Amino acid sequence: MKKFFTILGTVVLLLVALALIFNEPIKEYAVSRISDYHLSSLTVNKVKKNENKKGEFDFKKVKPLTASQVAKASMNNDAAVIGKMAVPSVKLYLPIVKGLSDNSLSTGGGTMKEHEKMGQNNYALAGHYMTAKGALFSPLENAQIGDLAYITNMKHVYTYKVFYKKIVPPTAVYLLDDEKGQKLLTLITCADGGTNRWAIQASLVSTMPANKSTLAVFSK
């Protein structure tokens, strides 16, 4: 019986992968479902538990989002979700996940540095670009200077205001550096078909306790 379910699971995974390969909207729908699940189920206790997990922070291992990657994440998603993010002006609502593993980047925005903390220094997140109106970090290409971006660890809500948006080469890693006396949020995604990167930076404008009222901003 165990062997039967193993074979059945493999067949189902293969069928999902094939569907994703031949249908981009299905892939985006699957990613959205993964993200929505984690957004709706995240708690303070889950964040605390996931913060202790190890993450993958090797930029060189990050590859374009594939159908098989999404299929695997759909079947068995163990991404370490440690918060939520929102840029309401472009309708971006995603989980924040520890590290840059395939599972993490199939789920939401991944932390780019191992020991970064919300509301401190330069909090940097990376996410996949899918299509012009796609899921994950795709909407960021429509963000504007002055837009507000929010992140939360379910204990506090941090509000940032966008002051920088530019297409940069992949070598522009200086944007991840901490700046003395500044509390920043840096968001990175692909541009020009993956040749370059969109880089968006925002400065911290307020920190509030997380409660029903302040967490409402993370609801679609």
Q: pLDDT 10s digit of each residue in the chain, 220 long?
A: 555 445 665 556 666 655 545 467 788 888 999 999 999 999 999 999 999 998 889 888 888 888 788 878 877 777 899 999 999 999 999 999 999 998 899 999 999 999 999 999 999 999 999 876 778 999 999 999 999 999 999 999 999 999 999 999 999 999 999 989 999 999 999 998 889 999 999 999 999 999 999 999 999 8
Q: Is 156 known to be catalytic?
A: no
Total number of domains in the chain: 1
Which entry of 38, 115, 156, 190 is annotated as an active-site residue? 190
CATH number at residue 59: 2.40.260.10
Q: Is 115 known to be catalytic?
A: no
**Predicted model pTM:** 0.87
> Which residue range forms the structural domain that includes residue 149?
1-218
Q: Where does residue 19 rank: exposed (0-12), middle (13-18), buried (19+ CB within 10 A)?
A: middle
Q: Report helix, strand or coil for 197.
A: strand
Query: Roughly how many angstroms between the first and final C-alpha of the chain, as a whole number?
Result: 42
Which entry of 38, 115, 128, 156 is annotated as an active-site residue? 128
